[in-house]
Amino acid sequence: MTTTSQLPILLSGSGKLGHADADDQRPHRDHPTMARDFVANVQRTHWHDGALWFVRNKRDAQASSIPEWEYLREQASAIKQEAIAKLADFLEQFEANATRLGAVVHWAADAEQHNEIVHEILRQRGIGKLVKSKSMLTEECHLNGYLERRGIEVVDTDLGERIVQLRQETPSHIVLPAIHLKKEEVGETFHTHLGTDAGASDPQYLTEAARGHLRGKFLAGEAGLTGVNFAIAQTGGIVVCTNEGNADLGAVLPPVHIASMGLEKIIPRLEDLAVFTRLLARSATGQPITTYTSHFHGPRDAASELHIVIVDNGRSTIRESDTFRAALGCIRCGACMNTCPVFRRSGGHSYGATVPGPIGSVLNPASDDARHKSLPYACSLCGSCTDVCPVKIPLHHQLLAWRKEFGKRGLLSVGKTLPMRAASFVFRHPALYRLGGRLARIAMRTLPRVFFVNRLNTWSRDRELPTAPADSFSQWYAKNRGPK
């Protein structure tokens, strides 16, 4: 990595992280290019925008029902900052308590190790069928492909995840994995894979079909893998929040429960959950709380196993940066995606990363700056993400900070730096600024329109340029309020 960072930002320390296998070797296209395809379909863009705006409105209704909402956000932020600061202590405390309760705790430095650990647990027990509930961490590690290549059947059981799995796609949103799909498309997928009626697209009917299909998978599962929403240092317990009940079925039926967690999922105390359970679902989907908030303390009985895999995969690197540390407080509610006007109009897949949207655009460059350098610019800096974030991550300021970091690392294209070098020079020379402005306005007023409205001018492809006045304000001022 080319880095000339002078800040105590050590984000270049770990090399390219995150991708354990060859899943992600598709040619990479930047955000504006991917977004162009999405936004070209105006109707569909409006539909996608409306679906997410609906969720944002539900979030607003729930947030406004809690008079102390802003106070809770401050509390959540303070708890996360405390947890991240003393992360090693809390992890050790968690490990000791979880072990005392009978769980087995594993540590994975990166995605490859996480996948190896999970595979080894399954291999040693001769397990060939894994039922999985939603875990963005396993998406980040590309676990499914890793296990499938080693002969293990992996079934995603969250409805949205199952839909994208059957379509051989990736989730486009961390909470609403199939938000990019229309019900007719889901109907076609289910017709092909589950044998539902051709042309059927009623969500009730399709969900019922998935319920029947996945019941069979749950009953046949030999191990269940879940994510972790919160890991409690004080007790050694883990908390998983779902609406469908799939995590619980996967954890209660097979004898082996594997829980994968990023190391930032730690919270210090049991009572801290009060703050987070009040914020999480309200922020995520506009529900007062998820249907199921399950607290696992140890395996369910002597005949069962609970394995907890703690994964770093670049997180400790982010912790070392004063600028980006707060992003580790993310509780993966997805509220920043629902509110982001760019996400709503470009779709999650346009970000080319497991975690899309504002928080993804902060986290992804930390693991591969060159690959993800367009993401911090996929943002109008409107700040709505920062205002909805339940843990008060200053997302839009962090996106701005990434742009500066790219500048320091020499990652900006000449197309970005050259105009800014020129502008900076002009702005340091007021006489040149005034003359340049004057000439530009004369040109705009006298030259034929084609000089300004053409394919090379990205602005005027869809927008008129402002009408150039003969006099600038400074000229007007000199004439009308001149030196006294």
Pick out residues in 321-350 that bind another protein (CB under 8 A).
325, 339, 341-342, 345-346
Taking contact as CB under 8 A, which single stretch among the options 65-73, 135-143, 326-334, 356-364 is the one that binds another protein? 65-73
The yes or no reply on residue 136 touching another protein (CB under 8 A) is no
Interface residue with another protein among 153, 207, 305, 452 (CB under 8 A) is 207
Pick 25 or 482: Cβ nearer another protein = 482
Q: From the CB of 147, what's the least distance to another protein, in Å? A: 17
Cβ partners under 8 Å of residue 184, min gap 6: 201
Pick 39 or 194: Cβ nearer another protein = 39
Taking contact as CB under 8 A, which single stretch among the options 143-151, 209-217, 326-334, 363-371 is the one that binds another protein? 209-217
Q: From the CB of 336, what's the least distance to another protein, in Å? A: 11
Q: From the CB of 140, what's the least distance to another protein, in Å? A: 17
Pick 25 or 69: Cβ nearer another protein = 69
The yes or no reply on residue 450 touching another protein (CB under 8 A) is no
Which CA distances in Å does 149 have to 124, 153, 211, 259? 17, 9, 27, 21
Q: From the CB of 25, what's the least distance to another protein, in Å? A: 23
Pick 110 or 368: Cβ nearer another protein = 110
Task: State how far the Cα of 189 lies from the Cα of 166, in Å rounded to an integer.
Answer: 7
Task: State how far the Cα of 130 lies from the Cα of 222, in Å rounded to an integer.
Answer: 6
Taking contact as CB under 8 A, which single stretch among the options 17-25, 145-153, 355-363, 374-382 is the one that binds another protein? 374-382
Taking contact as CB under 8 A, which single stretch among the options 16-24, 135-143, 147-155, 384-392 is the one that binds another protein? 384-392
The yes or no reply on residue 129 touching another protein (CB under 8 A) is no
Task: State how far the Cα of 347 lies from the Cα of 341, in Å rounded to an integer.
Answer: 10
Pick 135 or 294: Cβ nearer another protein = 294
* Window 19 to 38, contacts with another protein (CB under 8 A): 31-32, 35-36
Pick 25 or 434: Cβ nearer another protein = 434
Pick 138 or 242: Cβ nearer another protein = 242
The yes or no reply on residue 64 touching another protein (CB under 8 A) is yes
* Window 261 to 320, contacts with another protein (CB under 8 A): 263, 268-275, 277-278, 285, 287-301, 304, 310, 312, 316, 319-320
Please provide the DSSP assignment of 90-158 as one string: HHHHHHHHHHHTT-EEEEESSHHHHHHHHHHHHHHTT--EEEE---HHHHHHTHHHHHHTTT-EEEE-S
Interface residue with another protein among 152, 186, 258, 366 (CB under 8 A) is 186
Per DSSP, the three-state class of 311 is strand
Q: From the CB of 152, what's the least distance to another protein, in Å? A: 18
DSSP 222: S
Binding map of another protein across residues 163-182, x = CB under 8 A, - = no contact: x------------xxxx-xx
Interface residue with another protein among 96, 125, 150, 208 (CB under 8 A) is 208
Q: How many CA atoms lie within 13 A of 351 on its CB side?
A: 31
Interface residue with another protein among 1, 109, 166, 200 (CB under 8 A) is 109
Pick 25 or 39: Cβ nearer another protein = 39
Orientation of helix 42-64 relative to helix 272-284, angle to 10°: 150
Question: Which conformational region is residue 330 in: left (phi greater than 0), alpha (psi within -120 to 50 degrees), or beta?
Answer: beta
List the structure tokens of 207. 């969900």
* Window 218 to 257, contacts with another protein (CB under 8 A): 218-219, 232, 234-237, 243-246, 248-249, 252-253
Nearest to 350 by CA among 328, 379, 370, 329: 379
Task: State how far the Cα of 48 lies from the Cα of 270, in Å rounded to an integer.
Answer: 38
> Which residues in 380-398 are b (16+ Cβ under 10 Å) and which e?
eeeebbbebbbbbbbbbeb
Q: 238: part of which helix (H) or strand (E)?
A: strand 237-242
Interface residue with another protein among 70, 149, 150, 192 (CB under 8 A) is 70
List the structure tokens of 444. 């705009």
The yes or no reply on residue 430 touching another protein (CB under 8 A) is yes
Taking contact as CB under 8 A, which single stretch among the options 139-147, 222-230, 353-361, 475-483 is the one that binds another protein? 475-483
Asked if 367 and 402 touch (Cβ cutoff 8 Å), the reply is no
Q: 267: part of which helix (H) or strand (E)?
A: strand 266-267
First to last CA, the chain: 58
Q: From the CB of 310, what's the least distance to another protein, in Å? A: 8
Please provide the DSSP assignment of 338-383 as one string: HH-HHHHHH-GGGG-SSS-HHHHHHHHHHH-TTTTTTGGGS-----
